[in-house]
């Protein structure tokens, strides 16, 4: 029985997220597939990630930048989040 590719991908993602919790894994979500050098660069920039193994996932919606997820923490350095922050600031200025 063939599994739907979308469901397969989703299951894979869920499994990876579970593994993050079990093993010392950290997920880096980016808009394109990151090279090993780029992942190393990220690791160097965040000393806390030294003990984690990084793996990459692609999400086109984030425009540019990346999100790092490890343990229960999320570091969002995407263009999308910057735009959302800008939106919030605009609303706050109104009040």
Partner 1 sequence: MESLGIDVKLLIAQIINFALFFYIFRKFIAKPFSSFLNVEKKKEEEKEKVLSDLKKKEENMILQEQKAKEKIKREYELAVKNAKADAVSVREEMLQEAKKDSEQLVERGKKQIDEERITMQKDLKTKVVDLSLVIVNRALSDFLTEDMQKKINERILKNLAKDVK
Selected from 50, 60, 73, 92, the binder of partner 1 by CB under 8 A is 60
Least Å from the CB of residue 50 to partner 1: 14
Selected from 26, 27, 42, 49, the binder of partner 1 by CB under 8 A is 42
Looking at the Cβ atoms of 72 and 90, the one nearer to partner 1 is: 90
> How many residues of this chain bind partner 1 (CB under 8 A)?
22
C-alpha R_g of the chain = 16
**Helix, strand, coil % (nearest 5) of the chain?**
55, 25, 20
What's the Cα-to-Cα distance from 58 to each of 29, 43, 85, rounded to whole Å?
6, 18, 22
Give the containing element (helix H, strand E) for 75. strand 73-78
Q: Which residues of the chain form contacts with partner 1 (CB under 8 A)? A: 30-32, 34, 38, 41-42, 45, 60, 63-66, 77, 79-80, 83, 86-87, 90-91, 94
């Amino acid at each position: 029985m063939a599994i739907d590719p979308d469901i397969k991908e989703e299951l894979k993602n869920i499994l990876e997220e579970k593994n993050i919790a079990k093993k010392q894994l950290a997920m880096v979500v980016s808009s394109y597939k990151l090279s090993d050098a780029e992942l190393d660069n990220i690791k160097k920039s965040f000393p806390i990630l030294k003990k984690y193994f990084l793996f990459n996932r692609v999400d086109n919606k984030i425009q540019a930048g990346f999100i790092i997820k490890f343990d229960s923490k999320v570091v969002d350095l995407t263009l999308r989040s910057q735009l959302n922050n800008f939106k919030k600031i605009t609303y706050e200025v109104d009040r």
